[in-house]
């Protein structure tokens, strides 16, 4: 799960990054509202502070909703009921008042993700042995390495599933980005690389996902080729 935190307070943002990491969530942080749309494709959920220094948080919220289906949880220091209603009218999926409990935030994140539905991608198929003790179980959305469960973000899981479907053939960058993120944007290649790098670290099998220079990635079950 990758959470885009839009928060101008450095202290709050740093605390959130640490707290959410304990729940297996990766945080991208923006201190202002103007670049949010550029970072949206890599985000599973947006946590949006309404009190931003550059733009009106409610306008940011509305533009996120116009751009797509990424769930938005609005955060505000002010808890007035009318503001909450305004936030929801601007397309927010949920609303939290500062200060809030991290456990509650995590529960809300999972809830808005469930409401927005599962990741786009191929239909579930039976668990598959990818080699090297790595088993991908799409029906349960679980990856195990040597029998131990490994927590992957939605998009990391989708990238791995596409590579598995290709049976060792190359998946081009364009294909992976189009299938997992639904569209291309200027930072797409970099975002894909970051997801693959995280995937390799989490798998503990660096050779399993091989780079095909200038083309894309492919799975190498015995992990001895490529790299
Ligand atoms: Ca603020």
pLDDT in 10s for each residue of the chain, 227 residues: 999 999 999 999 999 999 999 888 999 999 999 999 999 999 999 999 988 999 999 899 999 998 988 999 998 876 666 766 777 777 899 888 888 888 889 989 988 988 876 554 444 456 888 888 899 988 778 899 998 999 998 899 999 999 998 888 999 999 999 889 888 888 899 999 999 999 999 999 878 999 999 999 999 987 554 44
- Calculate how far, in angstroms, residue 153's C-alpha sits from the geometric centre of ligand 1: 27
Q: Report the residue count for the chain.
A: 227
- Calculate how far, in angstroms, residue 23's C-alpha sits from the geometric centre of ligand 1: 24
Number of domains in the chain: 2
- Calculate how far, in angstroms, residue 169's C-alpha sits from the geometric centre of ligand 1: 47
Check whether the bond before 99 is cis (ω within 30° of 0): yes
- Enclosing domain of residue 179: 127-219
- Calculate how far, in angstroms, residue 28's C-alpha sits from the geometric centre of ligand 1: 16
Give the pair of three-digit tokens for residue 105.
């935030």
- Calculate how far, in angstroms, residue 66's C-alpha sits from the geometric centre of ligand 1: 23
Put simply, whether the predicted model's pTM sits higher than 0.75 gets the answer no
- Calculate how far, in angstroms, residue 25's C-alpha sits from the geometric centre of ligand 1: 22
Are residue 137 and residue 113 in the same domain, yes or no? no
β-pair partners for 30: 6
Which secondary structure element, helix H or strand E, spans residue 187, and what is its range?
none
- Calculate how far, in angstroms, residue 99's C-alpha sits from the geometric centre of ligand 1: 12
198-208: buried (b, 16+ CB within 10 Å) or exposed (e) per residue? bbbebbebebb
Residue owning tokens 């599933």: 161
33 vs 63: CA distance, rounded Å:
11
Are residue 12 and residue 45 in the same domain, yes or no? yes
Are residue 84 and residue 144 in the same domain, yes or no? no
Give the pair of three-digit tokens for residue 198.
């995280």
Are residue 104 and residue 170 in the same domain, yes or no? no
- Calculate how far, in angstroms, residue 7's C-alpha sits from the geometric centre of ligand 1: 6
36 vs 38: CA distance, rounded Å:
5
Give the Cβ contact number of residue 49 at 10 Å: 22
Alpha helices by DSSP H, 136-225: 154-165, 173-181, 188-203
């Amino acid at each position: 799960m990758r959470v885009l935190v839009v928060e101008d307070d450095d202290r709050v943002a740093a605390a959130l990054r640490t707290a959410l990491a304990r729940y297996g969530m990766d945080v991208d942080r923006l201190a202002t509202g103007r670049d949010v749309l550029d970072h949206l494709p890599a985000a599973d959920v947006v946590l949006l502070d309404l009190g931003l220094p550059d733009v009106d948080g409610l306008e940011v919220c509305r533009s996120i909703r116009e751009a797509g289906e990424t769930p938005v949880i609005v955060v505000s220091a002010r808890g007035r009921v009318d503001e909450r209603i305004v936030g929801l009218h601007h397309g927010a999926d949920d609303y939290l008042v500062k200060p809030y409990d991290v456990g509650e935030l995590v529960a809300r994140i999972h809830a808005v993700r469930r409401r927005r539905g599962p990741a786009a991608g191929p239909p579930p198929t039976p668990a598959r042995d990818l080699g090297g003790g790595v088993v991908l179980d799409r029906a349960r959305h679980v990856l195990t390495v040597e029998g131990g469960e490994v927590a992957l973000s939605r998009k990391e899981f989708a990238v791995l599933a596409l590579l598995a479907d290709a049976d060792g053939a190359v998946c081009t960058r364009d294909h992976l980005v189009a299938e997992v993120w639904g569209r291309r944007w200027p930072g797409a290649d970099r975002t894909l690389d970051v997801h693959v790098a995280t995937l390799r670290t989490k798998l503990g099998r660096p050779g399993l996902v091989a780079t095909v220079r200038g083309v894309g990635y492919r799975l190498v079950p015995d992990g001895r080729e490529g790299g």
